[in-house]
Amino acid sequence: MENENFWFAFGLTLFAGLSTGIGSALAFFTKNTSTRFLSVSLGFSAGVMVYVSFFEILPKARLALVPGLGEQGAAWYSVLAFFVGIFIIALIDRMIPSQENPHEIKRVEDVAKNGQKDARLVRMGMFTALAIGIHNFPEGIATFMAGLTDRTIAIPIAVAIAIHNIPEGIAISVPISYGTGSKKKGFYLSFLSGLAEPVGALLAWFILMPFLNDNLFGFIFAAVAGIMVFISIDELLPTAREYGLHHHAVYGFIAGMAVMALSLLLFI
C-alpha cells in the first residue's frame, strides 16, 4: 500500500511539474497568447488552492497535531507552520531577480516582434528556467505530501499547480525560442525545468519520510497550506489580471472555490 501511495503521489507531482511543457507548446504552436483563457484558468487555480488550504489542509494539519500537543498547542503550532510556509516561499521569491522572475508576464507576440536572435533573450530564458526550477521545489513537496495524504484534495491541487505552470513554461520558452532561433531548445528547456517538482517530491520522500510522525506531518501540512496561499496571492491572481481583465481573474477564482467546495462535499 505504501508503494502504491508513493507512485500515485509521485505521478501527480510529475504531471504538475511537466505542465511547463504545455506552456512551451503554446509558444511553439501559436502566434498569439490566449490571454482570456490563461486569465480565467489562473484565477480558477488560485480559487482551488486558497479554498483547499483553509478548509481542508489547515484543519487536517491541526487535527494531526492534537494527540501530541493538545487542542491549544495544535492550534498555535498549525498557525505558526502556516506562516513558516509563507516565509519560506516568500524568501525564495525575494532571491529571484525581478527581470528573471517567472511571475513576470511573457507573451508570445511581444517577443516575436523582435524576430532576430538575441543573446539577452537567451540569458533571460536561462535565468528564468533556473528561477522556476528553484521555485518549484516547495511546490513539488506540497503536491507530493497531498498525494500521500488525501487523494480527494491531491488531484485538484495537482491540476491547479499544473495550470499555474503553463505561463511559467511560456516565460522560459518564448525568450529562448526567439533568442536562439530554435523553438525546440525553448521547448526542451521549459520541459526540463518542470522536473524540479518531482525532484522536490523525491527529496521529501527520502529525507522527511523516515522521520515522519503526527507532529512533523501536521507541521509540514500546515506549511504546505501557507505555500499555496502565498502562490495564489503573489503569483496566480496578479498574473491572471495581467493576462486578462480584472473580472476574468475574479470569475475564475470564484469558480475554482465553488468547484473545490463541491468536490469536497461529494466525498463527505
Read off the pLDDT of residues 31-87 as tens digits, 9 standing for 90 and up.
Answer: 555 567 767 777 888 888 898 889 888 998 899 899 989 999 999 999 999 999 999
At 116 the pLDDT is 47
Predicted TM-score (pTM) above 0.75: no
Report residue 260 as a C-alpha cell: 473545490
Residue that has been written with the C-alpha cell 480527494 in this structure: 152
Looking at residue 129, its amino acid is A
At 182 the pLDDT is 65
At 87 the pLDDT is 92
At 79 the pLDDT is 95
At 26 the pLDDT is 66
User: d(Cα 36, Cα 166) in Å, to the nearest integer?
Assistant: 14
Residues 6+ apart with CB under 8 A from 9: 143, 144, 145, 146, 147, 148, 154, 201
At 77 the pLDDT is 94
Query: 143: burial class by Cβ within 10 Å (0-12, 13-18, 19+)?
Result: buried
Positions of the chain with pLDDT lower than 50, given as ranges = 100, 102-103, 108-109, 111-116
Q: Output the CA–CA distances (angstroms, integers) from residue 138 to 26, 43, 70, 89, 203, in the order listed.
A: 25, 21, 28, 7, 10
Backbone angles phi, psi at 184, to 5 degrees: -65, -40
At 165 the pLDDT is 76
Residues 6+ apart with CB under 8 A from 184: none
Report residue 97 as a C-alpha cell: 531577480
At 115 the pLDDT is 46
Report whether 234 contacts 90 (CB < 8 A): yes
At 235 the pLDDT is 77
Residues 6+ apart with CB under 8 A from 227: 85, 86, 88, 89, 138, 139, 142
User: d(Cα 96, Cα 133) in Å, to the nearest integer?
Assistant: 11
